[in-house]
Structure 1
Amino acid sequence: MLCVALGGVLALLAALLLDQSTQMRNSLVWVAHSSEVLKTANQSINHLRAAESGLRGYIITHDPAFAETANGEIAASRKGAAALVQLTMDNASQNDRSREIRTLVEARAISLEQSASLARSGQFKAAEDNIATGRGRYLMTLVDARVGDLLGEERALSASRMGTASSRLDAIFWLVVVGTPATMLLVLIACMGLIRRIREPVEAMMAVMGQLGSGDRSARIATDMRSREFERLALGYNAMADELAQAVSDQVHSEERLRLTNLELSHTAEVLRERGEVIELLGGMAHRMQAARTDEELAAIIRVFVPRVLPDIPGALYAHNNSRNLLVPIAAWGGLEVDPAGFAPDQCWALRRGQSHFVIEPGSDIVCAHVADATDHYHCEPLLAGGEVIGVLYLKGVVEAENRFRLTVLTENIASALVNHRLQRGLREQTIRDPLTGLFNRRYMEETLALEIVRVLRSGDPLSLVMCDVDHFKRFNDEFGHDAGDAVLQAVAVEMRSRFRDGDVICRFGGEEFTIIAPGSTAADMAARVDVVRQAISELTVHQGGRTLGAITMSFGVTAWDNSMERDGSTLIKTADAGLYRAKREGRNRVVIEQRADLVPG
């Protein structure tokens, strides 16, 4: 109850302080408002007087600077009068005076503007006569009178409001002076009472705990504590002591159970130790696989570590080739020989079912088509990631139950490494693409051309190369800016991608120049396809920044590989480039076939 009373007193004191503070703040706000009204009224009439002075200076000196000053002061006076009306909206009588002041200020401003207008038109004498009528002085007398009435009333309001604020401040002072000591006294009384009510139960509980510590497990705390919290604590302690007594009585029975549990834990510890060694080994393997950059490095790591994880079991790792839809061998170990051509996914039951498939003896299960007929026991473990086939782990032997954990962790690590390897290849794809057009870049073109030449030398198939560029490309940059040039290149790239075959390799050679590698095509066949592309590009309409960029044409040079050319592709490129320049000389927007014999140095 004492705490409740103390809380009530504190709440009352806080409420009184809050109320007085709020009222004092409101009073100060009104005082500040009165000050703003006084300042605005004085500024408005001061601006009006300054306007009069500026006009007189203009009429006397004929200096336009005085006229500009007068105009500015008139505008400021009007603005001040309008602001004064807004500031006094809370006070009807003051607002009426403000409106009358605004009307008088407006009338005086109009009179000043009339005189200024006469002066600006050169009628300085008429302007002086207009001032000499005395109307302006009469208006200023009225303005001064009305402003004086308003200022007097506002000063009285300000003084009243300051008195109210002072009274609120005195009230807050006495609330603090009287309320703080009274509250501290109540807090002190409450604390002393609380300490007294806590000390006796705590001493009783400490005594019983001492008995329990001395071995007397029958000691219990009396529940009559005159405090609901301490009574709940005593009941909880007594319940705990009862459970402790029961636990001691069950100790003998628990010892046997603990012994059996200890044996189980020992066995589990041994299993965990073995698994820890396997995990450590696999961790080293995974770390190396993640760092592998080539298929050869990955295969070497597999050949070293897998036989250590699954000793005495030969096997092979196959990875899924998406473009060919084949499982191709990456690595084999334990003397196992595999077909380098690989096999289709539907030839493996593990990949069909999406789970392990194994044969432990002849006739125990269906044999996969990719397994030799003489094999009577083997194990296929699918490697999957997100439901996608990554590869398959083939083991020529039986994986015993104690090695299933090793196999599970091994396949997870290998699948993760293969996915990472595939992602690295994807990143390489980004390095061989031109960022503006999305076509292959020059580096990829040179690598691909070298590979295609090697393939042609082995197979004898035809190989054509096209060099082309946008006619008068500099015009787009000069007339419309480089953004327009980029838009032209992108439009041309999109059109070429849609027109050439999937097997053709389209590259951006540099600037506005492009290269197309066409395996399996003769120069004549390629020229016919290129002419269709040329016609389609000439019909393009490209817009950029709301503008039509004009007609786009391209010139093409086509050539074909022959065995007299350099193996690095440089001669093939130079021959196609010569055809491109001949197309330029012959008038552009055309396709020219260039033969090796036609290539003239320079």
Structure 2
Amino acid sequence: MSFALLNLTLNARVADTEQVNRTRAQSSQLASAFRQVLDMEASLRGFVIVGRDEYLGGYRTAQAALPGILGDLRAQVARNPAGLTPEDRRSLARIDRIGALATRWQQEIAQPEINLRRTQPGAAQAIVASGRGKRIVDAIRTEVDAYGSDQTARLRAAETAAALQLRRLRWMLLGLGLFVLLASVALTLTLSQWLTRALGRLSRAAGDIAQGARGVRLPLRGVRDLQQVAGAFNTMSGQLEEAREEAARRAEALARRNADMTWLGELSDWMQAARSLEEGADVLSRALPTLLPGTRGVLKLHNASRNLLLPLVSWGGLEASYQPAEGCWALRRGETRRGGEPSFAPPCLSGADAPCFSCIPLFSHGETLGTLQLSPQEGEALPAAAQQTLPALTRQLSLALAGLRLQERLRQQTIRDPLTGLFNRRHLEEQLVQAVALAHSTAQPLSLIALDVDHFKRLNDTFGHDAGDAVLVRMGIALRDLTAQHGLATRPGGEEFTVILPGMSLDLAETLAETLRAQVAGWTLTHAGTPLGQITLSLGVAELAEHGTPATLTRVADEALYLAKRSGRNRVCRPPTADVALARA
């Protein structure tokens, strides 16, 4: 009778343990399914931010694995030897809802974002900003948490039933012991205590695992059933630890990827806000050491006119010097050159050809922008974090540098006269406003020279417009030489020129104007072998009066120019009178 009762209790305990194993296996399977959902969401977020198809690799993998995981989980729940219980039916319903929510998220959120990101990035961002995808994922998380709560309750119920069975067994064995010999009582009590210790170890181990402990194992000794229970328990504990470690590794990788995307997004925002290469270099000098940790390097720009690579940003103590573009094998081949790799290429002419040296060429729309040259601060290879960030970073650098170069070219086109290379009227007006404001704030003098070429129309009519253009180009060169140390030379239009002279008094401005007049009068110019005759200038000089404005200064200088014209040309004149200039102001 004792053996029969003991065997009945042990079988019930084995059944409870198998139920525990099934429950934990189902929980692990559901956690794996939820990790697939999180992988799809993370991969989709990376694709929406960067727009590159390789970021969808995790999404495709998780999308293909999720139905199989949910199907296996449903089969495990439905394969209950004792038949489906109400708890099993509730679990099956939750699994179906999780699958439906995952399908809905793919159809309503993921696929539209993928399609829109290729053609309408703004629309894809709008779907992300709407929060619908987050709500669906939160609903999936709620179902997973509810499923886990149900499983935890079932585990606790099983442990309670096991404890109750143990108590019943003790009392029944004690009652039977009253009717047997003292030896039988002693043997029965010894066996009862031995079983209690074994099952107690199992209960304590299960409790430890439920509280998150690691490395929990049971000794494989005792009867075969207990050995099987201990072996199954140890297998389950090992699988659970592996699942936890894998989840931690994935979470760490996802956090690192999110951090990289955040830094790259911030770099893109700052580079878009920059308005010149100097401002962009200031941003990159702070960003590159952070985005490429454990490296030292230099970013060089390609100067097409001189065919040189000129350093723009350097960090980590790497020497930044110019080098001939023709000597860069990375630019010649249009591909990254990594130090230490077997290669037939001769050393780089820059001299930076250490075994750990890497050179990445930067291109955009067929234009050569420069190179990014890197080497590790320690060891023989670039750190893993830098290698992971480098592809996306180089693409972003190429786009940003191309945009800044385009801005600079467009800006020069808007402020430069294409014929003489001098600044045009728009830039003259902007700089004159700034110069007047600075002169008033610092109490420094400000003078202006207005000049034009005498009888320029007659020159054009006599020798042709090509000859007139040649004279204007020569005037541009003379004015640039004259104002190389101070002042700003401009061509507002036609044969008229204006020179802004900050910090220069009227007397000094008049001396400078006379120097220019004498220099031009001494020219002997020819065009197409034909002498053009003497070229003369009429110049008017004016100084900013107290409380004067840019318009006042311009009018006074023009008045002095008109006086020089009326006085016979080929001369320098001041305004008619100081009183007239002040009155005009």
Scaled to the shorter chain, the TM-score interval is 0.3 to 0.5
Using structure 2 for the length normalisation, give the TM-score.
0.39
